[in-house]
Chains A and B, each alone.
Chain A
Amino acid sequence: MTDKLSNKQQKIVRGEIQEWIQERLIDESLGASLLSRYPASENKTNVSEILTMIGSVLVGLGTILFIAANWSAITVGIKLIIIVLAIIISHALGWKFYFEPGKHPRLGASILVLASLFFGAGIWLIAQVFNIDRNFSDGVLLWAIGTIGVTMVTNLVPLGCLSAILLNWWCFSSGYMTYGRTDDGAGIIPTFLVASIASILIAAKLRSRAVMWIALLMGTWVMLFQSFGVSTPLLLWGLALFAGQLWCSHRNQLFTNPFLYVGNVCILGALLISTFGHARTDNFSILQAGILLVATLIALITVAWKVPKFRIEMAICVVVAIAVPLTYGYQEGAHRMAFNIFLLMAIGGLAYSGLNRLQSMAVVNIALIFFVFDVIARYFDLFYTTMNRSLFFVGGGIILMIAGAFAERSRRKLEQTFLANDESTDSPPVVEE
């Protein structure tokens, strides 16, 4: 049994098989057997689902606004009763529609999402009733805990998405609350690790790529805005995701792509940012960077231990993870030089690994794109202030065209190499895009 095809791919395959039958290359029974190998993918998202989901959000928003508009007219007891009843009734209706046979599972799913929105609204309404100066992040955490419980029982992907969003929002807002105090402790790194690991585990439990994309992208968002060590957090996060990519390509290919794209872009993006030399070391926290470094090393070493064929990649990542934080404290020029070298080595390393070891065109493409970015960045660095403007833009345009043509030619060469490799070996590629 092969992977399920999209509707578009299904249409192409059906057309081809039909033509083979008409040309008598194959008979009808063989055509039917071939078709059965490519089942149509379930159309997981359609208009009715989107509409019911938007509808549930609007109902939730309307109810909250109704309570808010009549806030002073409603006594505390009535407010609490409304909140509790809204939560219980919406959960009960959601269960009935989603789980009982012959009902409407999509409507049930959207009502269950609505129920979780009511629960979140309830937390803030109660905090207001009792003048609780609740740290904003605590409220989001409590909302996440309540939502995760229902997610685990129902296995609903929209609730999984909401849980991942809430966990990362909690992490981000707790970072905001501790802004200015990050030098006197571990900052939000422990919170970040809990939120990210929990989000990834939820995605794995639901076997949902959507939840995994949200978990990884929101984790990147949190790391991007960390004040310590410039792009160190983003780089360490990227290295950990790269370990995840290799683990998934070996054990669970469902999640390979989210780890691949987010991880590789984080690694190269972090190195590219550091080549600009805006190194702010005033907020660099050894404790925060240390905790994140240890977590990253654990991920890298675990993959190296469990998947021996990727030990070379993991060993290089360990060296990079340890070497990069050591560059802080360098002079501006030396810092920029070091990161330019790191970036070019990373681009070369990823292109080589993608071509010869991972057999992943996506990894090679990302490396090529960042090579073009690096060329453009260095051109701006060197010539923006020294050249006549008209010459500068003409030169920039020519460099872009040459870089584009070079990238395209390299990509085609690599594709041909892949094809040649596939023909000469029986083993399938490690990573499939």
Chain B
Amino acid sequence: MNIQQRRLLFIAAIAVQLLILIAIAIPRMITLNHGRTVTFETEPIDPWDLFRGDYVQMRYPFSKIPTKKDFKPSTPVFVLLQQDTPDKWRAKEILTEKPPTLGGDLLLRARINYSSGSEAHVTYGLEQVFVAEGTGKDLGAKDRLNVDVVVDDDGNAVITELRHKDRKLFQWKWF
């Protein structure tokens, strides 16, 4: 292999790396552009990370779902949410397949943490948000936060805003 061929292959290898990054990002960009924005009420449980600074670790009322089904850890599932008030949602059903129709309900992808046969504990990938240095530590377990999330029909979701009362802790913006 001469140096010209090697250079071309090297550029191709870097292009593959960049394509991998783009491939990770594009589906969520589509979600942001075409999804439905909803607001969830949540509570902070852990505020700080050694390497990444302040972040807000959150728990949702529908993170713990009553169900008699037994799931194995790490199983991917769909959770169907029903709206009670503008920012209060509750889990209606936990499914292993995507339902054909949603009606007025909201579908979220999740992963099983553990299940006991009477309830399942799940994570949605919406459990943490990075905030400005120093603000995460101010929050206590009794503070109620509001999270704006964009959700598409497949259950993919991206957090776009996090608020504590009138204070914006995080806002998703391109520039």
A-to-B contact residues, CB < 8 Å: 64-65, 68-69, 71-73, 75-78, 80, 83-84, 87-88, 91, 95, 99, 119, 122-123, 126-135, 142, 145-146, 149-150, 152-154, 177-181, 184
Contacts and interface: CB of A to CB of B under 8 A. Distances in A.
B173 A131 contact: no
Contact of B17 (A68, A72, A87, A180): A87
Q: Which of B14, B74, B130 has most A Cβ within 10 Å? A: B14
Nearest to B23: A142
Given A95-B10, A122-B21, A145 B158 contact: no
Contacts of B125: 131-134
Nearest to B172: A76
Contacts of B173: 75-76
The 10 closest A-B pairs by CB, nearest first: A133-B125, A149-B13, A130-B28, A146-B17, A72-B132, A77-B174, A71-B130, A153-B9, A77-B175, A68-B52
A72 B130 CA distance: 6
A162 to B, nearest CB: 13
Contact of A126 (B10, B24, B170): B24
- The B interface, classified by DSSP as helix, strand, loop or mixed, is mixed
Given A83-B21, A119-B17, A180-B72, A73 B132 contact: yes
Given A88-B14, A131-B157, A99 B6 contact: yes
Contacts of A129: 25
B159 A131 contact: yes
29 contacts: A64-B51, A65-B51, A68-B51, A76-B172, A77-B174, A83-B21, A87-B21, A88-B14, A91-B10, A99-B6, A99-B7, A119-B17, A119-B21, A123-B20, A128-B130, A130-B29, A130-B158, A131-B158, A131-B159, A133-B109, A133-B123, A142-B24, A146-B20, A149-B13, A150-B13, A153-B10, A180-B74, A181-B74, A181-B75
Contact of A99 (B3, B74, B126): B3
A41 B123 CA distance: 55
A91 B157 CA distance: 33
B18 interface: yes
B133 A133 contact: no
B53 interface: yes
A126 B27 CA distance: 12
Nearest to B14: A91
Contacts of B109: 133
A171 to B, nearest CB: 16
Contacts of B29: 130
A89 B80 CA distance: 45
Contacts of B51: 64-65, 68
Contacts of A65: 51
Contacts of A68: 51-53
A154 B10 contact: yes
Contact of B13 (A84, A135, A153): A153
A133 B124 contact: yes
A431 B10 CA distance: 38
B27 to A, nearest CB: 8
Given A150-B10, A150-B13, A178 B74 contact: yes
B28 A131 contact: yes
A149 B53 CA distance: 33
Interface in B46-98: 51-54, 72-75
Contacts of A150: 10, 13-14, 17
A134 B125 CA distance: 8
Nearest to A67: B52
B53 A69 contact: yes
B131 interface: yes
Contacts of B74: 135, 177-181
Nearest to A87: B17
A400 B125 CA distance: 56
Contacts of B126: 131
A128 B123 CA distance: 15
Contacts of B25: 80, 126, 129-130
Nearest to A151: B13
